[in-house]
């Protein structure tokens, strides 16, 4: 959620919520006149405030220092301990330097005297608190992102896959060179992580790593995004803009989905690679840049060149070192470590303990072919961690579409032998039976062993459920 421009007291599309805590009705009446752009909750003591914080989403607390029962400083400590994401603005009729210092030490964002002038300025203080809150979130997210990337690098280094080991052997040889790298592979295989790994292993590791997904940028903007522009270069260019190449000076620029570049921008990118300089739109002179380029695509650029959709000269400039990242189905040796890594990542995002996958659940994941690669695996784990409250994720917790390959393989093994035509028919019936048993097992577990409820949900008889359960 992002704080919008001045005058808009909103976080994204959602109005910011303010909890006002004070024991005087007259104060609530006065203060809410200045909070018309916010959703306001009222509490007249600390106990009511705690209850509201437990039941409602609150962004900012405006808190009186002196209240009967649980006073402001006590409530401040409670809020800081249980609601880290809430910012607190203290108000008091009896200001003192010592109480202000103590409030700030205990986590208050601001400390104001109770007077009409401060009431009028409260909106400004709330906006600053919201911006502070957003920046704090971004720092936490960046720290979490850095920890995730570090763990992903560690997994790369420990890979058990021979195919990935071959890729990393090449990375070790070329990382410290200035050579341009082209990463090819199916969508979702982890091209950005490998690009970051190349950067981390290089002598440029202390410099910036700038990511550009060219497929998400409108054609009219991508040139400005990549190379920058000067003020007045085109309608709406009211200031000079530094492009991504210049932002990556001394480091690495990662150009994702490079195969989507238009022909016009391909020509300009070729010049950058040849001359090692960029020319901002509207500029009279080019500027030198010292940037390593790592490009990635899920297309075969050689085929794109043959089809006339990609410039041959640019292809050769990019294809100095080509690394093809194998799909997940060809490096299943790493699946257990990937599952553990992604499970801990999602659990950290949701602020809960990471569940583990049972042996039967891992068997299901091992027998799936993962057409969406690591991205598909992460999306599944995100769903499972969000919806699963227990310590163990079992096979029955995994969506049906991921279990079908395993069920079909089981049926194939049972159908082995006999004539070909009869075998095909037998395979069909066995596969259907495996699937039906799986559904019964899933529904009985979902209804906590109540077979009658499972039968009703499946639309079959109780005896059918009992038979399938017995055979499962």
Same domain, 128 and 166: no
pLDDT band with cut points at 50, 70 and 90 for residue 41: very high
Q: What pLDDT score does 428 carry? A: 63
Q: What pLDDT score does 4 carry? A: 40
Q: Tokens 């704080």 map to which residue? A: 3
How many domains, in total, are found in the chain?
3
Same domain, 109 and 49: yes
pLDDT band with cut points at 50, 70 and 90 for residue 94: low
Same domain, 334 and 462: yes
The terminus-to-terminus CA distance of the chain in angstroms comes to 47
| Contacts (Cβ under 8 Å, ≥6 apart) of 470 | none
Tell me, yes or no, whether 4 lies in a domain: no
Tokens describing residue 126: 């709330």
Q: Over the chain, what HEC string results?
A: CCECCCCCCEECCEECEEEEECCCHHHHHHHHCCCCCCEEEEECCHHHHHHHHHHCCCCEEEEECCCCCCCHHHHHHHHHHHCCCCEEEEEECCCCHHHHHHHHHCCCCEEEECCHHHHHHHHHHHHHHHHHHHHHHHHHHHHHHHHHHHHHHHHHHCCCCHHHHHHHHHHHHHCCCCCCEEEECCCCCCHHHHHHHHHHHCCCCCCCEEEEEHHHCCHHHHHHHHHEECCCCCCCCCCCEECHHHHCCCCEEEEECHHHCCHHHHHHHHHHHHHCEECCECCCCCEECCCEEEEEECCCHHHHHHCCCCCHHHHHHHCCEEEECCCHHHCHHHHHHHHHHHHHHHHHHCCCCCCEECHHHHHHHHCCCCCCHHHHHHHHHHHHHHHCCCCEECHHHCCHHHHHHHHHHHHHHHHCCCCHHHHHHHHHHHHHHHHHHHHHHHHHHHCCCCHHHHHHHHCCCHHHHHHHHHHC
Average pLDDT over residues 357-374: 92
Nearest CA among 67, 47, 70, 50 for reference residue 58? 50
Structural domain range at position 110: 10-138
454 has a pLDDT exceeding 70:
yes
Same domain, 94 and 221: no
**Residue, of 179 and 97, whose pLDDT is higher:** 179
Tell me, yes or no, whether 148 lies in a domain: no
Percent of residues, the chain, with pLDDT higher than 90 = 38
Q: How many residues does the chain have?
A: 472
Nearest CA among 390, 386, 334 for reference residue 362? 334
Report the CATH number at residue 397.
1.10.8.60
**Residue, of 339 and 82, whose pLDDT is higher:** 339
Tell me, yes or no, whether 3 lies in a domain: no
24 has a pLDDT exceeding 80:
yes
Q: How many CA atoms lie within 13 A of 68 on its CB side?
A: 3
Tell me, yes or no, whether 146 lies in a domain: no
Nearest CA among 327, 315, 372 for reference residue 167? 327
Q: What pLDDT score does 459 carry? A: 83
Given 272, 293, 326, the domain boundary residue is 326
Tell me, yes or no, whether 371 lies in a domain: yes
Same domain, 163 and 307: yes
Q: What pLDDT score does 5 carry? A: 36
Same domain, 238 and 376: no
pLDDT tens digit string along 376-428?
Answer: 999 999 999 988 877 899 888 888 778 776 665 655 565 565 444 555 555 56
Same domain, 173 and 286: yes
Backbone φ and ψ for 275, nearest 5 degrees, come out as -95, -15
Q: What pLDDT score does 101 carry? A: 72
294 has a pLDDT exceeding 90:
yes
pLDDT tens digit string along 201-227?
Answer: 999 999 999 999 988 777 668 888 898
Nearest CA among 52, 110, 41 for reference residue 82? 52
Same domain, 208 and 234: yes
Report the CATH number at residue 111.
3.40.50.2300
Nearest CA among 299, 201, 286, 204 for reference residue 253? 204
Given 270, 298, 326, the domain boundary residue is 326
Tell me, yes or no, whether 47 lies in a domain: yes
Report the CATH number at residue 207.
3.40.50.300
86 has a pLDDT exceeding 60:
yes
Nearest CA among 222, 287, 306, 290 for reference residue 256? 222
Q: What pLDDT score does 7 carry? A: 38
Least confident of 143-147, 367-371, 431-435: 431-435
Same domain, 338 and 421: yes
Nearest CA among 182, 385, 405 for reference residue 298? 182
Tokens describing residue 219: 């054609």
Average pLDDT over residues 435-461: 81
Same domain, 163 and 83: no
Average pLDDT over residues 453-461: 83
Least confident of 35-44, 107-116, 420-429: 420-429
Tokens describing residue 217: 């940028």
Average pLDDT score over the chain? 84
Q: What pLDDT score does 161 carry? A: 95
Same domain, 303 and 269: yes
pLDDT tens digit string along 322-353?
Answer: 999 999 999 999 999 999 999 999 988 887 88
Q: What pLDDT score does 212 carry? A: 93
pLDDT tens digit string along 165-203?
Answer: 999 999 999 999 999 999 999 999 999 999 999 999 999
Q: What pLDDT score does 117 carry? A: 74
Same domain, 360 and 340: yes
Tell me, yes or no, whether 149 lies in a domain: no
462 has a pLDDT exceeding 90:
no
| Contacts (Cβ under 8 Å, ≥6 apart) of 38 | 9, 15, 16, 17, 18, 60, 126
pLDDT tens digit string along 297-323?
Answer: 999 999 999 999 999 999 999 999 999
Given 107, 138, 169, the domain boundary residue is 138
Tell me, yes or no, whether 152 lies in a domain: no
């Amino acid at each position: 959620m992002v704080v919008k421009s001045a005058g808009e007291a909103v976080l994204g599309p959602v109005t910011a919520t303010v909890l006002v805590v004070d024991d005087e009705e007259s104060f609530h009446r006065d203060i809410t006149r200045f909070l018309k752009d916010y959703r306001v909750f009222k509490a007249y003591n600390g106990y009511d405030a705690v209850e509201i914080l437990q039941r409602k989403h609150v962004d900012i607390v405006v808190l009186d220092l002196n209240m009967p029962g649980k006073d402001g400083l006590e409530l401040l400590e409670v809020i800081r301990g249980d609601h880290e994401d809430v910012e607190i603005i203290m108000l008091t009729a009896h200001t003192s330097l010592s109480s202000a210092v103590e409030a700030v030490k205990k986590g208050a964002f601001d400390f104001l005297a109770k007077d009409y002038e401060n009431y009028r300025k409260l909106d400004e203080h709330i906006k600053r608190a919201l911006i502070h809150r957003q920046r704090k979130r971004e720092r936490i997210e960046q720290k979490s992102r850095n920890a995730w990337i570090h763990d992903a690098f560690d997994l790369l280094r420990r890979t058990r896959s021979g195919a990935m080991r071959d890729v990393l052997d090449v990375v070790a040889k070329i990382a410290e060179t200035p050579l341009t790298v082209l990463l090819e592979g199916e969508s979702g295989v982890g091209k950005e992580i490998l690009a970051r790994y190349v950067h981390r292993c290089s002598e440029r590791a202390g410099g910036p790593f700038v990511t550009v997904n060219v497929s998400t940028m409108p054609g009219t903007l991508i040139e400005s995004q990549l190379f920058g522009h000067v003020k007045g270069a085109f309608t709406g260019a009211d200031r000079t803009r530094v492009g991504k190449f210049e932002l990556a000076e001394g480091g690495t620029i990662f150009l994702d989905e490079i195969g989507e570049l238009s022909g016009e921008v391909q020509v300009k990118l070729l010049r950058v690679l040849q001359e090692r300089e960029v020319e901002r739109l509207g500029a009279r002179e080019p500027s030198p840049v010292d940037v390593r380029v790592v490009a990635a695509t899920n297309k075969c650029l050689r085929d794109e060149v043959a089809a006339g959709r990609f410039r041959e000269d640019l292809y050769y400039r990019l294809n100095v070192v080509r690394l093809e990242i194998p799909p997940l189905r060809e490096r299943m040796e790493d699946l257990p470590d990937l599952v553990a890594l992604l499970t801990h990542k999602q659990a950290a995002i949701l602020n809960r303990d990471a569940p583990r996958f049972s042996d039967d659940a891992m068997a299901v994941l091992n027998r799936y072919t993962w057409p969406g690669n690591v991205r598909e695996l992460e999306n599944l784990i995100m769903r499972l961690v969000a919806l699963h409250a227990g310590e163990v994720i079992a096979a029955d917790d995994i969506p049906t579409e991921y279990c079908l390959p395993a069920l079909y393989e089981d049926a194939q093994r049972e159908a082995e032998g006999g004539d070909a035509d009869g075998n095909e028919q037998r395979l069909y019936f066995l596969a259907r039976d495996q699937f039906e048993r799986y559904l019964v097992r899933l529904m009985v577990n979902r209804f906590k062993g109540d077979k009658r409820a499972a039968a009703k949900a499946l639309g079959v008889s109780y005896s059918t459920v009992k038979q399938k359960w017995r055979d499962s």
